[in-house]
Copies of this chain bind each other. A is one copy, B any other.
Amino acid sequence: MSHHVVIIGGGFGGLAAARALRRKDGIRVTLIDRENYHLFQPLLYQVASGGLSPANIAYPLRTIFKKHKNVSVLLGEVVDIDLDSRCVILANGAGAGGAGGEESDGDSSENRVPYDSLILAAGAVNHYFGNEAWEKVAPGLKTIEDAKAIRRRIFLSFERAERENDEARRSALCTFVVVGAGATGVELAGAIREIAVHTLREEFRRIQPDNARVLLVEHADRVLPPYDAKLSGCAEKSLRKMGVEVWTGAKVTALHDDRVEIEKDGKRECIETENVLWAAGIAASPLAGMLAGKTGTKLARGGRFPVESDLTIPGHPEVFAIGDMTHLMRENDKLVPGVAPAAMQQGEFAAKVIEARVREREAPARFKYIDRGSMATIGRAAAVAEIGKLRFDGYPAWLAWLFLHVMMLVTFQNRILVLVQWAWNYLSWSRSARLITRDGRPGAE
Chain A contacts to B: CB under 8 angstroms: 35-37, 53-56, 58-60, 62-63, 66-67, 69, 72-76, 90, 93-95, 97-100, 102, 105, 108-110, 135-136, 139, 144-145, 148-149, 152-153, 155-156, 159-160, 162-166, 169, 200-205, 274, 411, 413-414, 416-417, 420-421, 424, 428, 430, 432-445
Which chain B residues border A153 with CB–CB below 8 Å? 445
Q: How far is the CA of A69 from the CA of B204 in the complex (A)?
A: 9
Additional A-B contact list (7), CB under 8 Å, known A95-B436, A110-B163: A62-B200, A69-B205, A75-B163, A93-B163, A102-B274, A108-B169, A416-B420
A92 (CB) vs chain B CBs: closest residue: B163
Distance of A158 from chain B, by nearest CB (Å)? 9
Q: Which of B60, B98, B203 contacts A442 (CB 8 A)?
A: B98
Q: How far is the CA of A100 from the CA of B136 in the complex (A)?
A: 13
Q: Which of B163, B201, B428 contacts A94 (CB 8 A)?
A: B163
A413-B439 in contact given A54-B53, A72-B205, A94-B160 (Cβ < 8 Å): no
Copies in the complex: 2
Which chain B residues border A444 with CB–CB below 8 Å? 145, 149, 439-440
Q: Which of B66, B93, B136 contacts A443 (CB 8 A)?
A: B136
A69 (CB) vs chain B CBs: closest residue: B205
Q: Which of B155, B201, B417, B443 contacts A135 (CB 8 A)?
A: B443
Q: How far is the CA of A295 from the CA of B412 in the complex (A)?
A: 58
A108-B166 in contact given A139-B445, A153-B445 (Cβ < 8 Å): yes
Q: How far is the CA of A136 from the CA of B442 in the complex (A)?
A: 10
Which chain B residues border A100 with CB–CB below 8 Å? 440
A54-B435 in contact given A108-B166, A417-B421, A445-B440 (Cβ < 8 Å): yes
Which chain B residues border A203 with CB–CB below 8 Å? 60, 62-63, 66, 73
Distance of A435 from chain B, by nearest CB (Å)? 5
A144 (CB) vs chain B CBs: closest residue: B437
Which chain B residues border A144 with CB–CB below 8 Å? 435, 437
Q: Can you list 24 A-B contacts (CB < 8 A)?
A: A36-B155, A53-B53, A53-B433, A62-B203, A66-B201, A69-B205, A73-B203, A75-B156, A75-B162, A75-B436, A76-B163, A94-B156, A97-B438, A97-B441, A98-B442, A109-B160, A109-B163, A139-B445, A145-B441, A152-B445, A153-B445, A416-B424, A417-B424, A420-B420
